[in-house]
Amino acid sequence: MHSVKVHTFEGPLDLLLQLIEQEELDISQVALAHVTEQYLQALEKSDNISAEDLADFLVVAAKLLLIKSRILLPQLAVEGAEEASDLERQLKIFKEYLDASRGIAKIIHKRRFTFGRGKPAVMIEEKFSPPEGLEMGTMRELFLAVLRDIEPVIALPKAVIEKTVSISEKIEAIRALILDKALISFKSIMEDAKTKTDVIVSFLALLELVKQRSIVVKQGALFTDIAIHRLDSPSET
Amino acid sequence: MLEQKIEALLFLAGRPLSVKKLCDLTDAKKADVEKAAEALVTQYESRTSGVLIQKASDSYHMVTHPDVRSLAQAYAKEEVSGELTKPSLEALTIIAYRGPVTKAELEQIRGVNCSLILRNLLIRGLVEAKYDKPRATTVYDVTHDFVRFLGLAKVDELPDYIKLHDHATLEKLLNPDAQAQQENLPAV
Amino acid sequence: MLEQKIEALLFLAGRPLSVKKLCDLTDAKKADVEKAAEALVTQYESRTSGVLIQKASDSYHMVTHPDVRSLAQAYAKEEVSGELTKPSLEALTIIAYRGPVTKAELEQIRGVNCSLILRNLLIRGLVEAKYDKPRATTVYDVTHDFVRFLGLAKVDELPDYIKLHDHATLEKLLNPDAQAQQENLPAV
């Protein structure tokens, strides 16, 4: 595998697009599957991804893994089709606006700025005109409301970090589960999944573990359940 | 006559005036105000004037012409920084072409959370938020300050505006086959 | 081109500019400036415009057309005495409780650009701007007139003033680094 050379990237789609363009591919599901490893590599290597953005990078990582698994194990893909074409379309639209933003940068670069007067023409004189009926109690209420509106802004990075943490926790949970049972099926993991996101997160976690070589994923025959083996457990093969 | 009134008001105010404000002040119907204001925009563009009328979302603003930028900047003593980070520019581009746009739509296109970027753009006055009653949600649009950066009379003078403004048009361009199938059109 | 420049300057000024001043600003000869200005006067007269350029002794002034005088007066009245919008009231409240406050701080707190709101509050005499030497920036405070209007002798008599003036939420927002350091201290 050749090493990944990407410029600084601003978001998951930006990174993805750079990888695909570097390979001189058009945006397609095959191209997405092709750069999946490089995407994960870049993610691991990068130290400029803010905590706020990490969750978004991981969501795209999960979608990529789904696409890749669909191509490698077509029988696995029950729901993945939609996710896969979604990401492809999303990336194509993103590219359109990215190109447009370069056009806008060019226009701004021409510095054809215009200026307003910023204040009324001379005929308007300053005149004390208080807001009728404004009371101190109302002002206190208004101020408290402003403080309440600020709360989510301050909490913002924290909320995103919590979202990110839940993905790594899921990975830990699956690892613990496997250590406990040594052999469980993919299906039983999926049984706990309540939402589509849960399925994606579980799958991401599973593939992450495969990548870390903690487990081996085996499939007895086509269309059967996938068995997950802990690497240090005696396996039937 | 309505044109004259609107011109006088825009001159006096020196700030952007919304169509609603113009309706209230001139006691005219929305459609008539819009027609007259658009005629003014065109009229100022067509003569070689030192002044321009710019449109952003639903308001109009009388400003100096881009041709006299350095003189106007010196007189207005306004510092303009054209510097925008890449993410800010990306977000602005999407809002300029797609506005009025919701935060969810913006994030869908960019693939990342845009809360902080939106807040920065709002604070810089490049983007404004409005409550969209029918959709019961907040929508974002570019402001006159952003249009002043571009030196255009209207946002829809941006390159490829029609193509990138409309979601359906864009989808069709990107996925001609899927669209054709959906619409049961004979595949070309 | 000189015409364009003079037109832009007269618009930006909103008050009479002398020929001498126009010469200085445009770096042009007196005879040329006068010729261009006269051409502008004629041009504005010839089209039915809401705006005119008037000549008085040796200065030029862009003004609204006499035909729309009553409208112009209505606008001026509206600017200073129309009802305050909710965003304006919020800004006024923040300035009252938190003042003296900079425009940047006000915008961080409100999460939107406050240029137009501040302009309106200044015109109405509710807020005043002062230059803060140590901070080398302009700060805003409510006026004595406004404090008296509330029936107070001093602004710190507002309900819960002490508690709200430097509420922890505000400190976290405006001084995040100081906060982060404090929070990190025990952990290290």
Give the whole-number percent of chain A exceeding pLDDT 90. 18
Tell me which DSSP letter residue A229 carries: E
Give the pLDDT of residue B113.
Answer: 84
Give the pLDDT of residue B128.
Answer: 94
Average pLDDT, chain A: 73
From chain A, the residues in CB contact with B166 under 8 A are: none
Encode pLDDT of C11-23 as tens digits.
999 999 999 999 9
Nearest residue of B to residue A119 by CA position? Answer: B14
Give the pLDDT of residue A78.
Answer: 52
Q: For residue A30, is pLDDT > 70? A: yes
Whether chain A has a CB inside 8 Å of the CB on C85: the answer is no
Which residue numbers in chain B have pLDDT < 70?
82, 173-188
Q: Subunits touching B (CB < 8 Å, at least 3 pairs)?
A: A, C
Split at pLDDT 50, 70, 90, the class of C187 is very low
CA distance C161 to C144: 17
Give the pLDDT of residue A170.
Answer: 55
Please judge whether C112 and B124 are an interchain contact, meaning their C-beta atoms are less than 8 angstroms apart. Answer: no
CB-nearest partner of B150 from A92, A108, A156: A108
Encode pLDDT of B119-137 as tens digits.
999 999 999 999 999 989 9
Q: For residue C181, is pLDDT > 60? A: no
Q: For residue A4, is pLDDT > 70? A: no
CA distance C44 to C50: 9
Q: For residue C188, is pLDDT > 90? A: no
Contact between A203 and A168 under an 8 Å Cβ cutoff? The reply is: no
ipTM: 0.86
Encode pLDDT of A113-167 as tens digits.
999 987 888 767 777 888 888 888 999 999 999 999 888 888 766 665 565 555 5
Average pLDDT, chain C: 89
Encode pLDDT of C72-131 as tens digits.
888 888 888 888 889 999 999 999 999 899 999 999 999 999 999 999 999 999 999 999
pTM over 0.90: no
Nearest residue of B to residue A117 by CA position? Answer: B14
Contact between C69 and C52 under an 8 Å Cβ cutoff? The reply is: no
CA distance C82 to C48: 30
